[in-house]
């Protein structure tokens, strides 16, 4: 079974009190950190990471609460706040010898990347977001029956107890639904990789729910405070996403430009898991961004 990125070295790095991240590191050169999405692990970057490693030091962690990284119990709403998870990423890069780095995130990892860019502009030199909106805007664009596409956001936003029990009772069916419904080319996610995502997710139900619950509470508060204060992403930003704006009735590029003045925004037909279904597209976008 594929459980590692070929040719990469693995280690555990302590990033906060009682929290260590599982991280794969490969290549040499200027650093690029890649953050995975839901319901996945760092393995989603296996093609992109191998390509970028020819000219960059590529750092692929499992986020706190996911994969083989530590999964602290949510003792407060900040345990899985994107601000906390972003601080993990900055601490990880520094522990590996990098005070400044380019950062790319997919899905949940993109939310962490955006928060890192807002909170740590001196550390993040370039930023890529794959197929997500900033947290505050994500909730704002969901209206009426069209919001059913994001039913999981509402389920996992509920108080602790019921969501965890419901998901744990049928974990493979729950997480597998998203792998199937959001996928493009089935061949892009081989059976052994899919099985690894399901295994990792079923062993992390509580922390995954806590991550999502934070995005219905403290993450919204942090985004709103930044919007009210006029804070923006000061580094060059590239966004690649499906044409959700057309599907849900909003201007996706305008939403992003409000946060990122130095923006390249593009849509893709490669599906949600584009780092696996269209890795060349993602690598090309990253390389172009790093030249800006």
Catalytic residues: 107, 272
Q: How many helices (H) and strands (E) are present in the chain, helices listed first? A: 14, 8
Residue 283's Cα: distance from chain center in Å? 16
State the Cα–Cα distance between residues 250 and 248, nearest whole angstrom. 6
Q: What is the DSSP string of 116-168?
A: HHHH-TTTEEEEEEES---HHHHHHH--GGGGGGGHHHHHHTSPSSHHHHHHH
State the Cα–Cα distance between residues 127 and 101, nearest whole angstrom. 9
Write b or e for each residue in 144-154: b if 16 or more Cβ atoms lie within 10 A of its Cβ, otherwise e. Answer: eeeeeeeebbe
Phi-psi region of 99 (alpha: psi -120 to 50; beta: other; left: phi over 0): alpha
Sign of the torsion angle spanned by Cα atoms 183, 185, 186, 189 = negative
Helix then strand then coil, in percent of the chain rounded to 5, is: 50, 15, 35
State the Cα–Cα distance between residues 143 and 205, nearest whole angstrom. 27
Sign of the torsion angle spanned by Cα atoms 48, 289, 106, 249 = negative
């Amino acid at each position: 079974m594929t459980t590692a990125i070929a040719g990469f070295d693995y280690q555990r790095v302590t990033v906060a009190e009682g929290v260590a991240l599982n991280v794969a590191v490969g290549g040499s050169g200027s650093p690029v950190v890649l953050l995975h999405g839901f319901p996945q692990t760092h393995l989603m970057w296996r093609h992109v990471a191998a390509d970028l490693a020819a000219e960059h030091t590529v750092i692929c962690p499992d986020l706190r609460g996911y994969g083989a990284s530590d999964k602290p119990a949510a003792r407060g709403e900040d345990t899985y706040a994107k601000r906390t998870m972003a601080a993990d990423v900055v601490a990880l890069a520094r522990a590996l010898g990098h005070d400044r780095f380019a950062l790319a995130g997919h899905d949940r990892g993109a939310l962490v990347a955006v928060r890192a860019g807002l909170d740590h502009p001196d550390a993040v030199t370039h930023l890529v977001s794959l197929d997500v909106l900033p947290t505050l805007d994500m909730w704002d664009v969901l209206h009426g029956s069209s919001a059913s596409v994001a039913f999981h956001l509402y389920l996992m936003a509920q108080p602790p107890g019921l969501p965890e029990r419901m998901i744990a009772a049928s974990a493979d069916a729950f997480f597998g639904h998203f792998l199937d419904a959001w996928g493009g080319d089935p061949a892009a996610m081989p059976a052994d990789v899919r099985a690894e995502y399901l295994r990792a997710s079923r062993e992390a139900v509580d922390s995954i729910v806590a991550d999502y619950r934070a995005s219905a509470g403290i993450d919204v508060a942090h985004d709103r405070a930044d919007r009210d204060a006029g804070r923006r992403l000061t580094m060059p930003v590239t966004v690649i996403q499906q044409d959700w704006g057309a599907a849900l009735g909003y201007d996706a590029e305008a939403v992003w430009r409000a946060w990122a003045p130095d923006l390249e925004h593009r849509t893709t037909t490669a599906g949600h898991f584009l780092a696996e279904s269209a890795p060349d597209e993602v690598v090309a976008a990253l390389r172009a961004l790093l030249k800006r």
